[in-house]
Amino acid sequence: MTDNQSDATRKARYGVTRRTHISVTHTAYDQIQTWADEQGISFSAAMESLALIGLGEDTAVQLPLLINSLLERLVKGQFNRFAKLLSLAVLSSEEANVKADMVLLNLIRQEADANPSQFVQTMTVSTDPNNQKAMQIRKLREGMQRHAQDAALKRLKRPLSPHERLIKSSTADDMEDDDG
């Protein structure tokens, strides 16, 4: 196998695959699954490899190795990408949390400066369901929570930002470096 073959796409190496449903005995299934586990490949790849071996194809021996190599590269690349994106999400979340804390602390400080004698009473929001002002405050907070959740869901659905695309391309470069 040359380097050029390992860089080819799955479609170029194997052609278009076709979904096929077959029935096998429990004994055959167990034996095929055992062989697949030993090779580190899927049941489907094992079936194809064993069938090709049975037909005398020379490439059948290489097929599990190619699939195994491909899966390793894909998992590694996606894992690194996922880890980097998750790290960005954690950093953004922490940044938002720190900003919200700063705003809250400044509001508390302003209220304490404006009315030191009534500060605690002013800042306390009643849990009494008959207190309309406290109900309005809690409703406002719930609305802000819903808005923040909706905005977060919309962000999840939008395309990757330039920073995220940069991470994706750097991960692809890392994969190429690992192969070279």
Q: Is the pLDDT of residue 63 over 90?
A: no
Confidence of residue 5 (pLDDT cuts 50, 70, 90): very low
**Contact yes or no for 179/73 (Cβ under 8 A):** yes
| pLDDT of 142 | 92
Confidence of residue 6 (pLDDT cuts 50, 70, 90): very low
**Contact yes or no for 45/36 (Cβ under 8 A):** yes
Exposed e or buried b per residue across 36-69, where buried means at least 16 C-beta atoms within 10 angstroms of its C-beta = beebebeeebbbbbbebeeeeeeebeebbebbee
How far is residue 17's CA from residue 11's CA, in Å, rounded to a whole number? Answer: 8
Q: Is the pLDDT of residue 87 over 80?
A: yes
Q: pLDDT, tens digit, for every residue of 31-45?
A: 999 988 887 777 887
Taking all residues of the chain, what is their mean pLDDT, rounded to a whole number?
77
| pLDDT of 88 | 83
Q: Is the pLDDT of residue 56 over 70?
A: yes
**Contact yes or no for 21/3 (Cβ under 8 A):** no
| pLDDT of 102 | 92
**Nearest one of 171, 145, 142, 151 to 92, comparing CA atoms:** 151
- Which percentage of the chain shows pLDDT scores above 70? 74
3 phi/psi in degrees, rounded to 5: -60, -35
| Residue at 120: amino acid letter | V
| pLDDT of 170 | 55
